[in-house]
């Protein structure tokens, strides 16, 4: 156990500061009393006053016992013992040295007096009860020495302590105890100052830490507030986006959808007026057509067409970038209400773009500046509106193509009906040709029969045969010409029908 551990025996952090200091002083006084007073007087008694040796030896044990009592937490008892027992033992020791009728031994009286300061060292003024009791008992013991020294007959010869060098040693011991006690008190004050300085350093460090903690707390609060504001802005954007998407889904008509969208956006971002322009084409040139206009809680009925590249609004189409103005000229745009006219403080022009293609332009004017999250919100809405405009345009084109397809289907059905009729006519022509061919064959057979008859009658007259043959030849030629004409007509009709079929298939 180190010296500081002995001095701090029984000191608890839960004790008040004054009590911790007094416990350390009590341990110091007990250590000084035991070493500087108890041990020397035990040695002196062993050599010169053996019958009295029990008194200094007991005082040494009491001094060490005080430290033990403080260590176990019985601090009030320990300090009371060190305040009274050493003085009492020194008084009894003095009584044992003085015969009846003689005054007390001066050197021992000084030792007793030096012990009388102990109560004022080990008790604080806030411990008035203990201090008054111990101080009063000490004074009473000192004052009663002249009246109590004859109670015990001396058993030793005190000449060497009264007149010899042992007396001087006793005086020196009492002085050493006083100086030792003062030194220990000064040392305790020094330790207290060191501890106070350490506390001040720690307090300063804690103060700095508190300042840093306060700074961190403020920064965290600032970050938390910023995060809450960002979350609030994200929630605001999400709600507005959901409402806009619902409007886009509810309307199939472009004009109705445009009117609802522009009015919703202006009210949601707390703007004052705005317009929704869509990309159109007039006379083969691209332009921006004002599809919907809204201002001061009412729909505006205006027709406006802007050529591409004509002013900041139309430049948004080729540049594909938004424009934000906060310093507008007086005559650029005015906000009109029932209360009068005013120049807007901020103008936002946002392209409605999807897949790097601009489908329209949104223009918003406000008497206040737009916040960054509002601009981001409008940009996000632009993509959804552009997608809806593109889908509407595709649907319109699909509708036109569907109508054209239906018209072409009707024409195809008409052509098919005409072809069917032509095929029926061709089939009738073929049937007629077959009948003619059959008739021709029948005529040929008849002709053969007649030829046979003519051959039979040939012998009758050559003139008859020649006439009949000439007549037959004429009939055959006439029939052949008729057949050839019918075949030519059939083939011409067939080629015409085939050409019509090929044209219909294309």
User: Which of 374, 373, 347 minimizes the C-alpha distance to 362?
Assistant: 347
Helices (H) and strands (E) in the chain — how many of each?
15, 9
State the CATH architecture for 251-370. Answer: 2-Layer Sandwich (3.30)
| Residue 194: predicted pLDDT | 79
User: Which of 10, 39, 43, 42 minimizes the C-alpha distance to 24?
Assistant: 10
| Residue 401: predicted pLDDT | 73
DSSP 37: I
| Residue 43: predicted pLDDT | 93
| Residue 336: predicted pLDDT | 47
Q: What is the pLDDT of residues 391-416, one digit of tens each?
A: 777 776 777 777 777 787 787 777 77
Half-sphere exposure of 366 (CA within 13 A, CB side): 20
**In the structure encoding, which two tokens stand for residue 144, read together?**
């009663």
342 contacts 335 by C-beta, under 8 angstroms: yes
DSSP 327: S
Angle at 419 between CA 417 and CA 423, to 5 degrees: 115
**In the structure encoding, which two tokens stand for residue 473, read together?**
């030849």
Residue percentage of the chain with pLDDT more than 70: 85
Half-sphere exposure of 448 (CA within 13 A, CB side): 5
| Residue 297: predicted pLDDT | 44
Rounded to whole angstroms, the Cα distance separating 290 from 254 reads: 12
| Residue 299: predicted pLDDT | 45
- Phi first, then psi, for residue 304 (nearest 5°) are -150, 130
Rounded to whole angstroms, the Cα distance separating 371 from 383 reads: 19
Tokens 């069917």 sit at which residue?
A: 420
Which residues of the chain, if any, have pLDDT below 70? 1, 99-102, 145-155, 251-252, 284, 296-303, 307-315, 317, 328-343, 396, 433, 454-462, 464-465, 506
Rounded to whole angstroms, the Cα distance separating 460 from 412 reads: 69
Q: 200: Cβ–Cβ under 8 A, 6 or more apart, which residues?
A: none
Domain boundaries, the chain: 3-209, 251-370, 411-505
pTM for the model stands at 0.45
| Residue 382: predicted pLDDT | 79
Q: Which helix (H) or strand (E) holds 155?
A: none
Q: Which helix (H) or strand (E) holds 193?
A: helix 165-250
Rounded to whole angstroms, the Cα distance separating 59 from 63 reads: 6
């Amino acid at each position: 156990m180190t010296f500081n551990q002995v001095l701090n025996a029984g000191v608890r952090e839960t004790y008040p500061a004054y009590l911790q200091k007094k416990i350390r002083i009590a341990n110091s006084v007990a250590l000084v009393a035991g070493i500087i007073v108890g041990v020397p007087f035990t040695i002196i008694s062993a050599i010169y006053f053996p019958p009295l040796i029990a008194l200094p030896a007991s005082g040494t044990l009491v001094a060490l016992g005080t430290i033990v009592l403080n260590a176990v937490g019985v601090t009030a008892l320990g300090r009371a013992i060190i305040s009274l027992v050493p003085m009492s033992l020194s008084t009894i020791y003095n009584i044992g040295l003085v015969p009846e009728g003689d005054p007390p031994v001066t050197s021992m009286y000084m030792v007793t007096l030096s012990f009388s300061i102990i109560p004022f060292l080990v008790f604080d003024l806030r411990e008035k009860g203990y201090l008054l009791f111990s101080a009063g008992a000490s004074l009473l013991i000192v004052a009663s020495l002249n009246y109590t020294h004859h109670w015990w007959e001396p058993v030793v010869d005190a000449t060497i302590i009264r007149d010899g060098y042992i007396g001087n040693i006793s005086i020196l011991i009492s002085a050493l105890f006083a100086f030792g006690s003062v030194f220990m008190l000064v040392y305790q004050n020094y330790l207290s100052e060191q501890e106070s300085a350490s506390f001040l350093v720690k307090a300063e460090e804690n103060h700095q830490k508190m300042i840093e903690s306060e700074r961190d707390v403020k920064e965290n609060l600032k970050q938390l507030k910023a995060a809450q504001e960002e979350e609030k802005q994200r929630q605001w954007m999400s709600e507005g986006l959901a409402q806009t998407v619902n409007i886009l889904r509810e309307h199939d008509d472009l004009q109705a959808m445009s009117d609802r969208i522009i009015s919703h956006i202006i009210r949601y971002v707390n703007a004052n007026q705005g317009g929704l322009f869509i990309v159109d084409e007039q006379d083969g040139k691209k332009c921006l057509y004002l599809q919907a206009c809204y201002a001061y809680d009412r729909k505006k009925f205006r027709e406006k067409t802007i050529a591409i590249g004509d002013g900041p609004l139309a430049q948004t189409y080729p540049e594909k970038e938004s424009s934000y103005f906060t310093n507008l000229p007086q005559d650029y745009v005015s906000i009109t209400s029932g209360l009068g006219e005013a120049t807007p403080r901020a103008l936002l022009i946002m392209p409605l773009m999807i897949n790097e293609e601009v489908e329209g332009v949104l223009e918003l004017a406000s008497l206040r500046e737009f916040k960054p999250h509002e601009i981001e919100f409008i940009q996000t809405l632009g993509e959804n509106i552009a997608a809806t405009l593109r889908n509407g345009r595709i649907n319109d084109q699909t509708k036109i193509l569907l109508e054209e397809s239906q018209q072409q289907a009707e024409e195809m059905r008409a052509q098919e009906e005409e072809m069917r009729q032509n095929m029926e006519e061709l089939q009738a022509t073929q049937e007629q040709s077959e009948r003619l061919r059959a008739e021709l064959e029948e005529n040929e057979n008849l002709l053969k029969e007649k030829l046979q008859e003519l051959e039979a009658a040939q012998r009758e007259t050559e003139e008859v045969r020649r006439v009949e043959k000439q007549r037959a030849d004429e009939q055959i030629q006439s029939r052949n010409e008729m057949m050839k004409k019918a075949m030519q007509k059939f083939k011409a009709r067939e080629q015409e029908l085939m050409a019509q079929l090929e044209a219909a298939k294309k």
